[in-house]
Amino acid sequence: MKASLELLFSEFEGRKEEIIPLLQAAQTCLGYLPKEALLEISRFIHIPESQVFGVATFYTQFRFSPTGKTHVMACRGTACHVRGAPRILKTFSDCLGIKDGETTEDLEYSLETVACIGACGLAPCAMINEKVEGKLTPKKVSGFFHRRTKNEITV
């Protein structure tokens, strides 16, 4: 990990205000922010680890545990809420057997909610591995995972 972080640091100057871009780059590279990464960043920009941790925990983008291979972000924006987002979230949760913010034990799936994806015209929607799925219904959601599981079996 240290080697990959050092490579990543080479693109930065080590200034204090680079902390958020550094955290973002580290998370993109590692998938989440393990404790060692925070420690390395604090050394690199010369600020206490507690401050790095303080900034990292403030922003919802940062995660401190790994996500699943398939990462589901269910939108709970206003348009989605009015068009049935709570039921969509419940279906995701039932299909995957995990709650909001959890990851399956086999690290295959993780589920979280986001404030708004910005695809409100297609509400309710969710983002599955960077791809936005719109006009969701409980049926569509359960069918989606059904299909996915089958695909995985054939692969």
Write the secondary structure of the chain as one string of H (helix), E (strand) and C (coil). CHHHHHHHHCCCCCCHHHHHHHHHHHHHHHCCCCHHHHHHHHHHHCCCHHHHHHHHHHCCCCCCCCCCCEEEEEECCHHHHHCCHHHHHHHHHHHHCCCCCEECCCCCEEEEEECCCCCHHHCCCEEECCEEECCCCHHHHHHHHHHHHHHHHHC
Q: Name the residue nearer to another protein (CB basis): 7 or 115.
A: 115
Q: Name the residue nearer to another protein (CB basis): 32 or 62.
A: 62
Rule CB under 8 A: choose which of 10, 105, 106, 121 binds another protein.
Answer: 121
Map residues 80-99 to x or -, x wherever contact with another protein holds by CB under 8 A: xxxx---x--x---------
63 forms part of the interface with another protein (CB under 8 A)? no
Tell me which residues touch another protein (CB under 8 A).
Answer: 16-21, 23-24, 54-55, 58-62, 76-83, 87, 90, 114-123, 125, 130-135, 138
